[in-house]
Homo-oligomer: A and B are copies of this chain.
Amino acid sequence: MVELFATEQLKKLAPRYRTFIEKELYPLEIALVNIPFREAGPILQQKRELAKKQKLWAPFLPKKEGGAGLTLTEFGQISELMGTTPFGHYVFNCNAPDIGNIELMHRHASASLKKKYLLPLVQGKIRSCFSMTEPGSAGSNPVALETTAIREGDQYVINGLKWFTTAADGASFAIVMAVTNASASPYERASMILVPTDTAGFNIIRNIPIMGEAGEGYMSHAEIEYNNCRVPVSNLIGEEGSGFVLAQERLGPGRIHHCMRWIGICERAFELMCERARTRNMGDGTMLGDKQTIQNWIAESRAEINAARYMVLHTAHRIDQEGAKAARPDISAIKFFVADVLMKVLDRSIQAHGALGITDDTLLSFWYRHERGARIYDGPDEVHKSSLARSILKNKKA
């Protein structure tokens, strides 16, 4: 734990999460990632109940709503622990995209939407999804968004094609990003609208096969057609035209969650690499850990993971203190920096395991496949680099 970020509350909570995760989840994880979600779900449900019982449920929520009222910096550190095992976030109801939808609705949804959708979501009775990315257009360009929500009377009629809508399969509702005012300025064209998944015209075309698996349920990414999909105007979240502002707002904390989850994965992969180094007998009187190449990997990984953690926690701290807008350059920087560290650490750990590293007998192959997207989703690293550089070049000009 980083001494400067170790609050009293965190010092109490972290060991409880660690114990739960190591005792309840580690023993199941290899099995769970290698079966369909319909089989894993019920087992996970028991763990979710246990988490509730132990008051470990959704710690990011305010205390009066049953959470632990953690700051973003505190929650980030818990999120790292959850990240060390594939279903960690899910078991504590901290998983994307639900956590992002919860935070969004908490602030911007009407009372009736809150009652009908937010409450059961918080309680873990339903799941949700977030429908933003489109196959035909570069996500980094707001003007390129093609899905429309045309107002007719007191309804929005939504048409468009989305993909990579994570966990849509089995979700009760989607929050969809659609153009409500095509003639407005670029960042005021779109709105976020809640669409129950049983609405006519909400059609899941497929769970997209990714890295050899279409997946299902919570473990899937859907392609969705919105075909004259009608919802009441009151399903609007926030103001009409505020879609990009809300997306931006969602982004800061979301980035912290993701990055800390990645760091959790790094720590686990690192631990596996060290364990392998300690125990693999080379048959020539040395252990794998005696080889200098693997020593290099261990040392470099240790340094890089530490660096990544410091960067993310300082960014979280800044968001806590000054808000996400002030922290925007830091938020850009951690995206590509931590994703890069994640790739390097996973790759080294796999290589250290030899043939074992590509089998499903360890978690490494799961993460290798499921986390390659880290450099792509939420905007490819290249876009973040250009955007950060442009803001630097602009700021100092003055």
Chain B residues lying within 8 Å of A375, measured Cβ to Cβ, are: 351
Is residue A137 within 8 Å, beta carbon to beta carbon, of the partner chain?
Answer: yes
Specify which of B307, B318, B393 is in contact with A278 (CB 8 Å cutoff).
B393
Q: How far is the CB of A84 from chain B (nearest CB, A)?
A: 15
Let me know if B289 and A291 touch, CB within 8 A.
Answer: no
Q: Is there a chain B Cβ closer than 8 Å to A357's Cβ?
A: yes
Partner of A212, one of B211, B308, B311, B329: B211
A24 within 8 A of partner (CB): no
- Closest-CB distance, A298 to chain B (whole angstroms): 4
A376's partner among B295, B351, B373, B385 (CB-CB below 8 A) is B351
User: Given B137, B164, B392, which contacts A302 in the complex, CB threshold below 8 Å?
Assistant: B392
**Contact, CB under 8 Å: B365 / A350:** no
Interface size on A, residues (CB 8 A): 89
Residues of B within 8 A of A281 (CB): 138
Tell whether, in the assembled complex, residue B209 and residue A34 are in contact, meaning their CB atoms are under 8 Å apart. Answer: yes
Q: Hey, which chain B residues are within 8 Å of A277, CB to CB?
A: 393
- With a cutoff of 8 Å between Cβ atoms, the chain B residues found around residue A289 in the complex are 389-390, 393
Question: Could you tell me if B376 and A299 are in contact, using CB atoms closer than 8 angstroms?
Answer: no
Are B283 and A360 in contact (CB-based, < 8 A)? no
User: Knowing A137-B283, A299-B388 touch, does A333 contact B306 (C-beta < 8 A)?
Assistant: yes
Instruction: Confirm or deny: A354 has a beta carbon within 8 angstroms of a beta carbon on chain B.
Output: yes
Instruction: Judge whether B385 and A358 touch: CB under 8 Å.
Output: no
A385 touches B296 (CB 8 A): yes
Kindly list the 6 A-B residue pairs having the minimum CB-CB distance in the complex, ordered from nearest.
Answer: A295-B389, A310-B310, A144-B283, A299-B385, A292-B292, A209-B360
Spell out A's residues near B (CB within 8 Å). Answer: 2-4, 34, 133, 135, 137-138, 141, 143-144, 163-164, 208-213, 271, 274, 277-278, 280-284, 289, 291-296, 298-300, 302-304, 306-308, 310-311, 314, 317-318, 321, 329-330, 332-334, 336-337, 350-351, 354-361, 365-366, 368-369, 372-373, 375-377, 380-382, 384-386, 388-390, 392-393, 396-397
Further contacts, 9 of them, CB under 8 A, given A351-B381, A351-B382: A138-B281, A278-B397, A292-B293, A302-B329, A302-B392, A303-B333, A307-B337, A310-B311, A357-B376
